[in-house]
């Protein structure tokens, strides 16, 4: 049987999530072990596909940990490039924005506050330019829709039709980039 971690919460259904830490089963408090086993059995092919995808991403991405100097250089590049990309896409999205901050984050590529301030991960400098642009557009669209609804994604795709391909690139390669920061 597959090793996995169960995280129980007030959710209504069982969901599977694969990451570098392994398989996570998110389950309602009331879910039984038998119900979890059924979901795992039903999604066995998906679980194996995700394991192979993660292994391939690990092999294809350089594993050297970035030094503090290298991280600083990435952040310095990001401080120049990302505001240019935000300024380019904000009129296309039709929004204004506040402050732009560059961070070394382990769990997010970007975020948008209620006040319109934007945060971006300096590791985006290691991604293809179109992936960076997809994150910029994603965060700017939160100025229109502060959620991940169908209306939100309609706005993202209106401005950046190739969004899902770039999103998949981050899913496939993002953890390898983050490992370069954390070792």
- Rounded mean pLDDT for each run of 10 residues along the chain, 183 residues in total: 85 87 90 94 91 73 78 94 97 97 88 95 95 98 95 97 94 85 65
Q: Is the pTM of this model over 0.75?
A: no
Q: What is the pLDDT of residue 26?
A: 94
Compute how many other C-beta atoms are within 10 angstroms of the C-beta atom of residue 26: 16
Q: Which CATH number characterizes residue 177's domain?
A: 3.30.2010.10
Q: What is the pLDDT of residue 122?
A: 95
Do 50 and 79 lie in one domain? The reply is no
Compute how many other C-beta atoms are within 10 angstroms of the C-beta atom of residue 130: 13
Q: What is the pLDDT of residue 152?
A: 97
Do 89 and 111 lie in one domain? The reply is yes
Do 56 and 72 lie in one domain? The reply is no
What is the number of domains present in the chain?
2
**In the β-sheet with 15-19, what is the strand arrangement from edge to edge?**
4-9, 22-28, 15-19
Do 41 and 100 lie in one domain? The reply is no
Rounded distance between C-alpha atoms, residue 72 and residue 23, angstroms: 33
Q: What is the pLDDT of residue 60?
A: 61
Do 108 and 176 lie in one domain? The reply is yes
């Amino acid at each position: 049987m597959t090793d996995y971690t169960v995280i129980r919460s007030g959710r209504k259904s069982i969901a599977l999530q694969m990451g570098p830490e392994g398989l996570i089963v998110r389950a309602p408090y009331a879910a039984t072990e038998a119900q979890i086993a059924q979901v795992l059995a039903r999604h066995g092919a998906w679980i194996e596909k995700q394991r192979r995808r993660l292994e391939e991403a690990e092999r294809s991405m350089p594993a050297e940990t970035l030094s503090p100097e290298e991280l600083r250089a990435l952040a310095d590049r990001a401080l120049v490039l990302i505001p240019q990309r935000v300024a380019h896409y904000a009129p296309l999205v039709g929004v204004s924005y506040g402050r732009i901050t560059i961070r070394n984050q382990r769990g997010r590529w970007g975020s948008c506050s209620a006040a319109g301030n934007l945060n971006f991960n300096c590791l985006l400098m290691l991604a293809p330019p179109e992936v960076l642009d997809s994150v910029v557009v994603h965060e700017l669209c939160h100025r229109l829709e502060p959620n991940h609804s169908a209306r939100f994604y309609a706005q993202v795709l209106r401005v950046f039709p190739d969004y899902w391909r770039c999103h998949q690139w981050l899913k496939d390669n993002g953890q390898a980039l983050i490992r370069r920061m954390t070792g």
